[in-house]
Amino acid sequence: MDNIAITGLGCITSLGADKDKVFDNLIKGKNGIKPIQSFDVSAYAGKQGGEVKDLTSTPDAINTTCPQYERAAWLLLKATREAIDDASLILNQQNPFRIALSTGTTLGGMVNGENYYRALHQNDKKIHPNQIISASQYAPNDFVMSELGLRGMSLVTSTACSASSHAIGYALELLQSNLADVVLAGGFDPMSELTFSGFSILRSVTQDKIRPFDKNRSGLVLGEGAGMLVLERESEARQRGARIYALLAGYGSSSDAYHTTAPHKEGLGAARAMRMALNEAKLNLTQVDYINAHGTATPANDIAETRAIKNVFGEQAYRIPISSIKSMIGHTLGAAGAIEAVATVLTVYNNVIPPTINYSMPDPACDLDYVPNQSREIEVQAALSNSFGFGGNNAVLAFVKPDLS
C-alpha cells in the first residue's frame, strides 16, 4: 500500500497568520494569550484568550461572493489557501472531483448563530437571509469548496476537541481506499462567547496562566484558529516533484464511554488510541522521539494523559520529550488537532521541539519530560500527536520522516 505524504501546510493562530510565523513563535516560546477583545468578558472570571488579530489584513481574506459567512469560514479559507500554495498544488490542473475536504470543528459557524440571535431579539430588519444557514457546522466547508471550485467529498467531523485529528485520520483512510487523489484535511474554530461562557460554567477556565502538567495548573485558556494539511499518496507526490514534510503513518481512534466531560482516570481510551496509531504505523516504542500532548492544563486531563503515556510506553515514557503548545496559543477546541498536527509535522521536518511554557512546579503525578520553557533540538524520526475530547473521544496521529518508512 502506498504511503500517505504531507505536502502542504497552513496555519493561523494567535501567534501568527501563517505556518512559518506560528512555528517560529512556538519554538521561541512566545505567549499568544492576551485579554479578549471580541466580546465583553466582564461577567466572567477568566478574561484572556488566544485571539487571532490579523485575519482581515491578509490579502487572500478579501475576495468573496458570500459576505454572510463569518470568522470561522475565513479562518478555514486562510489556512486552506496557504496549504494549497505551500504544496505547489495548481487546482485548475487537478481533477476537482478527486479533491476532498475533511475538517473538524466544535462550533462551525456558531458565531454567526450568536449574531443572528442578537439581531433577531433586537428586531433588526437587515438580517441576511443566509445568516442562520451559515451558522451550521458544515457551512464553512461549503464556503471553502465554493471559493476553490472543488467538487469532491466534503466531510465535517465534530467530536469536540479531537475533531480535526479525526478529520485527518479520515483523510488517511480516503486516500488508502482510493476515494480521493488529494485530501485537504484540518480543522477550525473561532472564539465564541457561547463556548467561553460554557467553559466558565464548568469552571475549566483559569484566571492564571495556562500551565500544562504543572503542579499549580488550574485550567485552560481558550483560543481560536485553523490548521490545514495537504495529503496525497507518496508515489504521486514524488511524481510531481512535491516537497514531502512527513508521512502520516498511523491513526488511532477510541471512546472512553466514561463521563460527559472528564477523561477516564487511567487514560485507558487514550492509551488504546495511541496503540492503534503505533500499530498502523508499524512503530515500536523505541522509535517514537516526541509526543505532542493534548495537555489542556486541567487537573484531570494532564494526569490521565500522563498515565496513558506510561501505560503504552512503560519505562520508555521517561525518555520521550512531551510538550503542549496550548500553553502558548490556548485550547482551540475543534481546531486543536489540526493546528497541533501542523506543529508536529514541522517538528519532524525541522528536528526542533516546541516547549511547554509557564512550567515552574513539577507535579509528582505528572513526572515525565514536558520540555519546560525552552525548545529543544533533537532528531525526530517519528512523533505522535494526541487529541482527547469531551465524552472520551480520542484520536492519535503518527507522523514519520519519509525515509523511516
Catalytic residues: 161, 294, 331
Question: DSSP 3-state assignment of 372?
Answer: strand
> Shortest CA distance to 320 belongs to which of 255, 254, 267, 386?
386
Q: Can you read off the three cell numbers belonging to residue 324?
A: 503542549
| Beta bridge partners of residue 372, listed in sequence order | 356
In whole angstroms, give the CA distance from residue 80 to residue 97: 17
> Shortest CA distance to 185 belongs to which of 66, 87, 332, 290?
87
Burial letters for 308-317: b for 16+ Cβ neighbours within 10 Å, e otherwise? bbbbbbeeeb
Distance of CA 249 to the CA centre of its chain: 18
Q: Can you read off the three cell numbers belonging to residue 125?
A: 430588519
DSSP 8-state assignment for residue 369? -
Contacts of 260 (CB under 8 A, 6+ apart): 390, 391
Residue 184 parent element (H or E): strand 182-189
Residue owning grid cell 483560543: 223
In whole angstroms, give the CA distance from residue 68 to residue 159: 26
CA torsion through residues 25, 156, 232, 389, sign: positive
For residues 381 and 61, is the Cβ–Cβ distance under 8 A? no
Alpha-carbon distances, residue 163 vs 79, 155, 251 (angstroms): 17, 11, 13
Phi and psi at 156, nearest 5°, equal -125, 130
For residues 35 and 51, is the Cβ–Cβ distance under 8 A? no
